[in-house]
Amino acid sequence: MSIKNCLYVGVDVSLKSLTTCILDISGEQVFKPKNFSNDPDGAEKLLDTVLSYANSLDVTHILFGIEATSVYGSHFLYTIADSNIFSAFTVQSYCFEPKIIKNFRDSLGDLPKNDKMDSFVIASRLRLGNLPNEFYINFNQLGLQRLTRFRQHIIKSITREKTYLVSNLFLKFSKLTQKKVFSDNFGATAEALLTDLYSSDEIATIPVEELIDTIAIASKNHFDDINSTANLIKKSASNSFKLKNELNDAVNIVIKACFENISALEKSLKNIETSIQKQVKIFFKNEYTILTSINGIGPVIAAGIIAEIGDINRFRNDDALAKFAGLVWSQYQSGEFEADDTHLRKTGNVYLRNYLCQAANCMRIHNSDFAMFYSRKFKEVSKHQHKRALVLTARKAVRVIFALLHDNRLYTLPKKGVLPIEN
């Protein structure tokens, strides 16, 4: 970026403050680091301060930069976007990954670690150039993004709760976690049996007819051979470790609470997925139709990709989109040597990268074009075969997704005998 006159505004964001440093085009501190409150009044005072220096120094461009810190900087960036006081200037905002700022700080030597110095480092990094994608604000997209990211949060919570439940199930009914007694240890039948009956001893000693009734009611008679199932459960209970009553009481309370938590989380998941589909159909119907036309990309993955990409036109090509997702590789080269085994850079939008890898895994199963590509990449190496082939397939998916969204067209499989273009 070639700019004759510019202000570089570095803002270190925290829960309560916006610590700000302003550099001019030569790197001089025209405004030494100062704290503003992280609230509407503080943000407006910060912007008024920047405006006064922009007018006095006769600049044409103003670049704002913050380090990504959860949601603490979101309102400040929204305030910049909504403000009309900078109409006479070209204003751009950037949100740096913490790793980028850390590496740049390390390159500057042994600097003290405090908010004021952090704001100076961010402003200096802005001045260096080679900046990430400009911070993009589309409130429809941001709303969808909140929902899709919360969906991932719920799924992780369900997984964590089930893992915790399994550890307590082993204490109460050890054979249940060692062999396939139920088709689903978290289903209605398992829940009824493990919360209604006191212990594995009770399960082992109750009449088989009573156990059959309990299973039939809980499963709604879905078992083909309920007698065999009941006998298997009684046998497993007999062969399980026995607990003392004092411990069994506590374990029963924990197991019941875990089942209740899982049920509540799964109900929330359904509600969130319904809300996601409503948002998509109202604001992103065209993009959703395009993505779901690709064999292997379903509603969930399509919504997640849309939520993270936003407007495809903010990316100049598929390489820019791949870099945004972190699907780029480091290069190791010196003199005549260049390493064959390189690593995926751990930068970029981790949510988008995860969705693209999920999409690639589904596409290799349901899409013949991607299945052939995955298979070829899998056979090229002898180690990390699946992981490498999947990430390369995800990179191919980026090219396809970018082209379809950019050209506003649906996906069609390549004709037989015509090899797809691969970069």
Residues 385 and 358 in one domain: yes
- To the question of pTM greater than 0.85 for the whole model, the response is no
Residues 297 and 230 in one domain: no
pLDDT recorded at residue 346: 66
pLDDT recorded at residue 198: 61
Asked whether residue 277 is domain-assigned, the answer is no
Asked whether residue 87 is domain-assigned, the answer is yes
Asked whether residue 412 is domain-assigned, the answer is no
Indicate the number of domains in the chain: 3
Query: What residues of the chain score a pLDDT lower than 70?
Result: 1-4, 197-198, 330-346, 414-423
Q: Which amino acid is at 257?
A: A
Residues 191 and 310 in one domain: no
Residues 302 and 379 in one domain: yes
Residues 242 and 288 in one domain: no
Cβ neighbors of 325 (< 8 A, separation 6 or more) are 308, 348, 349, 352, 353, 356, 398
Residues 12 and 125 in one domain: yes
Which of 270, 294, 314 is the endpoint of a domain? 270
- List the CATH number of the domain containing 75: 3.30.420.10
Asked whether residue 279 is domain-assigned, the answer is no
Domain range for 152 is 146-270
pLDDT recorded at residue 84: 93
Q: What is the mean pLDDT of the chain?
A: 88
pLDDT recorded at residue 304: 96
Tokens linked to 4:
């004759």
Asked whether residue 80 is domain-assigned, the answer is yes
Residues 345 and 390 in one domain: yes
